[in-house]
Chains A and B, each alone.
Chain A
């Protein structure tokens, strides 16, 4: 079965450092998303991406965040200068559009010290 893959599975970083989380969506999917889940809390929408541009972003997705699809397969989330409150599980998701299913990756756990 096709799957969304995310790397790294766990990253520990110092506050103020830049972090890049990587995702490989399912190959024929057109819509891509990043979500985050702070430990014990709900899954929150960060950003959606379609046709090489951001479709929508939440108020969480401020200037320290950026997304990119550098090579037509990877989909990355960059956090420019991490803060303690960025510690969370970050999920990538993709789907074909329409009534297709949204597939989630296993997540990347980010710990900011």
Chain B
């Protein structure tokens, strides 16, 4: 079955500290991979995506993610978080077919300690 696991429900980090949010997926083949961010009461904004090629992808707002096929993981990282990064982060996967749906993980809520 296709699934996305985000093992951390809630993470708190200090402003200026580094961040890593974990994501593991289960899919028939290597899917397309995404990270979305959702601020309270807002919609979903794409941070970055991986389709193929370089396994380290850069996104907006200083985020990056690394695809590791052997671990079926796509962890999100940021070297130094800002208070404005406090939000819910969703990892997601999609198949290669254009009609494939995106499947979301359960999300990780990020809080920033001043």
Which chain A residues numbered 20 to 78 have a C-beta less than 8 Å away from chain B?
A: 30-31, 33, 35, 41-45, 48, 50, 55-56
Tell whether, in the assembled complex, residue B102 and residue A91 are in contact, meaning their CB atoms are under 8 Å apart: no
A91, B43: Cβ atoms under 8 Å?
yes
CA distance A33 to B44 in the complex (A): 14
Which of A31, A35, A93, A107 interacts with B99 by CB under 8 Å? A31
Task: Say yes or no: is B90 at the interface (Cβ < 8 Å to chain A).
Answer: yes
Tell me the total A-B contact number using a CB cutoff of 8 A: 50
Of the candidate stretches B18-26, B62-70, B103-111, the one touching chain A is B103-111
Q: How many residues does chain A have at the interface if contact means C-beta atoms less than 8 Å apart?
A: 24
Chain A interface, DSSP helix/strand/loop, else mixed: strand
User: Taking the nearest CB of chain A, how far is it from the CB of B57, in angstroms?
Assistant: 13
- Identify the B interface with A (CB < 8 A): 32, 34, 36, 42-46, 49, 51, 90, 94, 98-99, 101-107
